[in-house]
Structure 1
Amino acid sequence: MIHLHQIDPIALALGPLKIHWYGLMYLLGFAVAWFLGRSRIRAGRLPGVDEHGFGDLMFYGMLGVVLGGRIGYILFYSFGDFLEDPLMLFKVWQGGMSFHGGLLGVFAAVWWWSWRRGLHLMDTMEFVAPIVPPGLGFGRLGNYIGGELWGKPTGSDWGVIFPRALPEQLSNLDATALRTQFESGALDAFARHPSQLYQAVLEGLVLFVALWIYSLKPRPRYSVAGLFALLYGVFRFAVEFVREPDSQLGYLAFGWLTMGQVLSLPLIAIGLIWLWMSRRAPTLQPQLPASAG
Structure 2
Amino acid sequence: MWVHPQFNPVALQLGPLAIHWYGITYLAAFGMFLWLANLRVAQPAPAARGWVKRDVDDLLFFGVLGVVLGGRLGYVLFYKPAYYLANLGEVFAVWKGGMAFHGGLLGVILAMALFARLRGRSFFEVTDLIAPCVPTGLAAGRVGNFINGELWGRAADPSLPWAMVFPQSGSTLPRHPSQIYQFLGEGLLLFVLLWLYARKPRLTGQVSGMFLIGYGMLRFAAEFFREPDDFLGLRALNLSQGQWLSLPMIAAGLLIWWWASRRRPA
Unaligned runs of 5+ in 1: 168-186, 285-293
Code of the residue aligned with 2:198 in structure 1: it is S
Q: Superposed, which structure 2 residues align to 1:128-277 within 5 Å?
A: 128-158=130-160, 159-167=163-171, 187=172, 190-254=173-237, 256-277=238-259
Q: Is the 8 A contact 1:219 1:283 kept in 2?
A: no
Give the deviation of 1:250 after TM superposition.
Answer: 4.6
The question of whether the paired residues in 1 share the 8 Å contact of 2:22 and 2:95 is answered with no
**Conservation of the 8 A alpha-carbon contact between 1:110 and 1:125:** yes
Distance in 1 between the 2:197 and 2:265 partners?
14
User: Which SS does the other structure have where 1:241 is aligned?
Assistant: coil
CA contact 1:245–1:251 (8 Å) conserved in 2: no
In structure 1, what is the equivalent of residue 112 of structure 2?
110
Which runs of structure 1 show a deviation greater than 3 angstroms over 4 or more consecutive aligned residues? none
CA contact (8 A) 2:22 2:97 kept: no
CA deviation profile, 1:90-127 (whole Å, cap 9, x unmatched) = 22222210000000000101000000111000011100
Kept after mapping to 2: 8 A contact 1:72/1:100: yes
Q: Give the whole-Å Cα distance in 1 for the aligned partners of 2:43 and 2:96.
A: 41
Aligned to 2:2: 3
Structure 2 distance, partners of 1:266, 1:102, is 16
In structure 1, what residue type is equivalent to 2:8? Answer: D
Matching residue's letter, 1:163: P
- 1:80-99 correspondence to structure 2 within 5 Å: 80-99=82-101
TM-score relative to the length of structure 1:
0.85
Larger radius of gyration: 1
Deviations 1:215-268 (A, max 9, x none): 1111111111111100110111111111111121155223x2211111111100
**What SS does the aligned partner of 2:62 have?**
helix
Deviation at 1:48, TM superposition (A): 2.9
Higher relative contact order (CA 8 A, sep 6+): 1
CA RMSD, Structure 1 to Structure 2 (Å) = 1.5
Please give the per-residue CA displacement for 1:35-66, whole angstroms capped at 9, x wherever unaligned.
Answer: 11011223351523322222111101011000
Structure 2 residue runs without a partner (length 5+)? none
2:23–2:95 Cα contact (<8 Å) kept = no
The alignment status of 1:49 with 2:51, answered yes or no, reads yes
Q: 2: distance between equivalents of 1:244 and 1:106?
A: 27
